[in-house]
Amino acid sequence: MTERIVVVGAALLDAGRLLAARRSAPPELAGRWELPGGKVEEGEAPEAALMRELREELGVEAETVERVPGEWPLRPPYVLQVWTARLCPGSAAPEPLQDHDALRWLTPTEIWDVDWLDQDVPAVRKTLPKLTTGAH
């Protein structure tokens, strides 16, 4: 049986908005928007991986809130799992430090204004009600 490797993504919520990040690499994904995150390393808990990725890629201190139910296949052996997350008090604002060349905080009405990666769309759709209720 092939090992599967989890890629974690963050639906980072703040003041009723969702953070979208535009990938700058690799070429086949560049220009598309994603829930920021990355690969879980061996022996690492997914939530810890997500906090690490958000620190490395966006320079923020964040904490996970809850898992978005579901799991979405990526290029084998990768699968995508998503957590809602929020900024810790005192965290810097996110900036595109690596892997991204633009960030947008999207309100519920703007959520489909960006060209999300196909595989992120189901998780974004499931996150939408959390934005409209204002729940974090």
**21 close to 59: Cβ distance less than 8 angstroms:** no
Q: Is the dihedral of CA 33, 109, 17, 7 positive or negative?
A: negative
With CB under 6 A as the contact rule, the residue among 38, 46, 96, 108 that binds ligand 523 is: 38
**91 close to 54: Cβ distance less than 8 angstroms:** no
The reply to whether 117 sits near ligand 523 by the rule CB under 6 A is yes
**72 close to 126: Cβ distance less than 8 angstroms:** no
The reply to whether 39 sits near ligand 523 by the rule CB under 6 A is yes
Instruction: Kindly tell me which of 42 and 89 has the beta carbon lying closer to ligand 523.
Output: 42
The reply to whether 94 sits near ligand 523 by the rule CB under 6 A is no
Q: Return residues touching ligand 523 (CB under 6 A).
A: 7, 9, 29, 34-35, 37-39, 74-75, 78, 80, 99, 117, 119-120
